[in-house]
Structure 1
Amino acid sequence: MRPGSSFSHKPPAEKEKQRRDRMKDLYSTLATLLHLEPYDSKSLPEFLDRATSSLIHLKEGVERLKVRKEELEKEVSHNSKPSNSEPRLKVVQVTELVDQKLEVNMIFMVSNKKVVPFEVLRVIEQGGAEIMSSSFSTVGPHIYCTIHAQAFQARLGFDAKLIESQLMELIY
């Protein structure tokens, strides 16, 4: 060995053990990321087949979501109407979910001064629903709003059509 060189020689068996341990860690990481059973419980080819089919399923899901996004963008652009050189985007969707729950999705223009978050929440509460969570996000000239609510009293419920019509009045 030359002076000044730091060369460590590992036996081939130790290098192979390190390689196998690294591959084992990578397979475990893959199983975690894809929410699969740990690969130790199955044979490696079976595990890799499951991982492959899971990735294919995820890729198909991404493609479906891209198509849905394009459909929604077309719908949003169709609902936009130029008025005074500014589009007037208005979208309200009220969906009744199971167990007396309600989801409200809205898109409206920032310039629409009639729509204030507490007014939107007030309309929903007056319709008989208790707000569980709400999210208001401003992106460019649009405000995106998602609200989850449930009925004040399960026996009485809420009136989704009334809530939707009042929100439409508020926005329009």
Structure 2
Amino acid sequence: MDHHQQQQQQGSEPSTTTKVERKIIERNRRNKMKDLYSKLNSLLPSYSPTEVLPLPDQIDEAVKYIKSLEKKVKMAKEKKERLLKGRNNKKRSRGFDEKNITKSPMIDVHEMGNSLLQVVLTCGFENKFLFNEIIRILHEEKVEIVSANSSSQPGDSMIHVLHAEIPSAFQQFGAARVSERLKRFVNGSISDVEIDPGFWDDFEIDTDIWELPDLSSVVSKGFSNPL
């Protein structure tokens, strides 16, 4: 082999090596893609090991399945948002209802000695008229009101405290009768009590604080346990 032939042979060797390398790289790439397609196909609901679909069909099935999953995810997010919104609205509604529940009025009547009464009324602002009605009932029963005051309490409620003196002529049964009538009135049994709004047209009472000048004389009689 002459010198010229040797040069041609040496020049062709790198070219042949490059072609072989390219073939190996391409074969590896194809095998890798084939493996990826196989894994993707195994994730499809329609996958069957015994029935291998052509590659284009596998890709079509995968695209359809991915789109269906995207739709399901979107629907799930919308449902979650609706549920969260509904729960928040329910919480706000429940909080509003709890805040606006009417507080049932409560009355306690304590006999303090033979002639003294302590009346304690607890109610919501919407029932504050009850205090005026209690004063009206006491006037009807000829009971002398010694002191009366009102104050607000936490939770949108009011507490009204009233001290009264039973006339000596009614001391034996008067306290019990007045106590029973007040309780029946506040608890709703008011068949014997007609609420007359006009009664207060000419009779105004400041329920924030009302002290009568003869309180000291009542205290000296034995009024020693105020609220």
TM over 0.5: no
Calculate the TM-score normalised by the size of structure 1: 0.43
- Pair member with larger Rg: 2
Greater helix content: 2
Greater strand content: 1
